[in-house]
Amino acid sequence: MKAATRVRTEAVSAISDLDIFARVARTGNMSAAGRDMGLSPAVISKRISMLEDRLGTRLFQRTTRQLMLTETGRGYFKRVVDILSLIEEADDFVCRRNTQPRGLLKITAPTSFSRLHVAPHLPAFLARYPEIKLDLCLTDTIVDIIRDGYDMAIRIGELEDSSLVARKLSTDNRLIVASPAYLERAGTPKSLEDLQAHNCLSAGAQEVWRLEGPEGQRPLRVTGNIYSNSAELIHTALVTGIGLGLRGTWEVGPEIRSGALKVVLPQYRGSSNMAIFAVYPSRDFMPAKVSVFLDMLAEAFGSEPYWNKGLDLGTGPAQARPKPTARKVASAGTR
């Protein structure tokens, strides 16, 4: 075999090994990875062993029931995903496929937000990009998009530092709200200290409410008789008068406008660091399918989100303005 041919063959084999490794890492199962690639579990196992021998390190811890990445394997996986993404994008460029967004777009996003503010824009988006297929995993828990193979995530809150790229899609204005029935029964709090005697309902990691008010930032530890990973459950509990909650206007705006929920202590808001973000692995060689979806969301939400229409979010009490009119939202995909 000529030297040049041998080098090319070894390069192709190395890339194939990276693909095998990444599929095993994502599925945690050699048989599943083999089915995806049309290879037997024995071949998959042999190629993983050869890769580990070449690297001189163990990438997986193997037991009779589990296959788990080692610490070195996790670091290797993060870098392999980037390499495979670059190879895919290079292939797309050569084949001129990247001029038309296409392929499977895997997204994870919060349940309530997606139902209210993502799903309504999907028909126009899919009509404009018929070669894109969507795989939407809706969950209120944080998903590791690298490990689980997602193209992007929508996250609401204050992001921690990470190797991921984040694009701010909108502000997340949070207000303390309760139903009139609850306030009539339990009384309306006049200060943050009064909240210690109230039933404060929390969704997700909300044991401490991060507030901002006249005196600056005020973290407040709260207690209540309901804690849930479901924002929708907490929303229903608030409307039905069980307690108070610190909720985003994207979620409770309609109830504030209708009077089903009242704003409590309007001089306090959730932290201004809270926002709605799109998070994705890398801005380099971003697939067109991800880019057009991000653009659709940013345009649909606008610089001033439509869900804040009719709410006074200035320094005065946040309340519904009379006879609010619906804001026309640009159709998804309109430039």
Counting Cα atoms < 13 Å in the Cβ hemisphere of 302 gives 12
Q: Please determine whether the domains at 103-172+274-303 and 174-270 fall in the same fold group of CATH.
A: yes
- The pLDDT tens digits for 196-245 are 999 999 887 677 899 999 989 999 999 999 988 888 999 999 999 999 99
Angstrom CA distances, 90 to 5, 10, 17, 85, 306, stand at 21, 19, 18, 9, 38
Strand pairing partners for 156?
A: 276
The candidate with the shortest Cα–Cα distance to 51, out of 27, 89, 22, 18, is 18
Rg (C-alpha) for the chain, rounded Å, is 25
SS3 call for 256: helix
Which token pair is 206?
A: 């909300």
CATH number of 103-172+274-303: 3.40.190.10
Interatomic CA distance for residues 69 and 11, integer angstroms: 24
pLDDT computed for residue 287 by the predictor: 84
Distance CA 298, CA 275 (A): 13
Q: Which residue has the tokens 């209708």?
A: 258
Q: What is the pLDDT of residues 163-210, one digit of tens each?
A: 788 899 999 999 999 999 999 999 999 999 999 999 999 887 677 899
Using a cut of 0.95, tell me whether the model's pTM lies above it. no
Query: What pLDDT is attached to residue 28?
Result: 85
- Right CATH for 3-94 from 1.10.10.10, 3.50.50.60, 3.40.50.1370, 3.90.1150.10: 1.10.10.10
The whole-number pLDDT of residue 311 equals 85
What is the residue extent of each domain of the chain?
3-94, 103-172+274-303, 174-270
Is 311 in contact with 175 (CB distance < 8 Å)? no
Residue-wise pLDDT tens digits, 59-80: 998 877 778 899 999 999 999 9
How sure is the predictor about 318, in pLDDT bands with cuts at 50, 70 and 90?
very low
